[in-house]
Amino acid sequence: MKQTRFDLNNDIAWCPGCGNFLLLQLLKETLDELDVDPTNVVISSGIGQAAKMPQYVNTSFFNGLHGRALPVATAISLTNPELLVIAEGGDGDMYGEGGNHFIHTVRRNPNIVHLVHNNMVYGLTKGQASPTSQRGFKTPLQTEGVILEPLNPLALAITLGAGFVARTFVGNRELTKEVIKQAIAHKGYALVDIFDPCVSFNKVNTFAWYKEHSYVQGDDWDASDKLQSLAKSMESDPYPLGVLYKNPEEQPSLTEMHPAYQEEDTPLFKRKRSVQELTALME
């Protein structure tokens, strides 16, 4: 296993064979290859097996409430735009409990990278259907099978105006690293939906299943055509992998649009506070 500056020698509380191990290693390798300073990275997560990942990376992190990684990541990015801010968690955490935050984070366009471990099941709470579970998928709660259509996060993000939307699979190491690198380089909100098998509670969507039911986009794919990308995001079985959409026109990030940065670009945490002005405002 490749050694990086982001390694931590601590015990990892995941099931043997979990796809999270692969994604953890790939993220550390990606950051190391980009020569990112570990002190300039902050990872925000919520609750869940995937959301434990920041605890295993040699960076700063905030591990908060279920579904609340995105607003925290947005606040961190606004307070210190010099940081690389990553929000990460599972499909339940990000698209279920965090679904409302997902929608409005896309609209706000903060300068953050959003990594979602998509294993089509709730892993921490032992196998309930998640927003991305497929119809017919049987669980301890959905004993007759899931009756709802799965959420399509890629189509949703493109429709809401996300400037960078991608999907990858942890079984494809080089593609995953390349997609994350492009997401980091993108200014504004970047979604990376990552097929990441849960070996304990999803015996259907396995490593072999994801490999057989997905394909990598060819080099001739034009990711700048929004309507074409939206149509591509609607494909399933097989699912397209790679950068599905990248806005060819650079959009202003939330930091650039925010009133606090219109007249001064000094990060908020470096600015001096005026007790007199605060007192007058409160009065």
3-state SS track over 179-218: HHHHHHHCCCCEEEEEECCCCCCCCCCCHHHHHHCEEECC
pLDDT at position 227, please?
Answer: 97
Element (DSSP H or E) covering residue 73: helix 69-79
Token code pair at residue 76 = 């961190």
Nearest Cα neighbor of 75 from 27, 37, 49, 111 is 111
Q: What is the pTM of this model?
A: 0.95
The Cα 156–Cα 193 span in angstroms is 12
pLDDT at position 283, please?
Answer: 81
Check residue 272 and report its DSSP letter.
P
The DSSP bridge pattern shows strands 164-169 and 239-246 to be antiparallel
Q: What is the pLDDT of residues 193-220, one digit of tens each?
A: 999 999 999 999 999 999 999 999 998 9
Q: Can you list the domains of the chain with their CATH numbers?
A: 19-282 (3.40.50.970)
Query: Cβ distance 139 to 128 under 8 Å?
Result: yes
pLDDT at position 280, please?
Answer: 86
Check residue 146 and report its DSSP letter.
-
Q: Extract the residue ranges of the chain whose pLDDT is less than 50.
A: none
pLDDT at position 124, please?
Answer: 86
pLDDT at position 159, please?
Answer: 97
The Cα 121–Cα 50 span in angstroms is 12
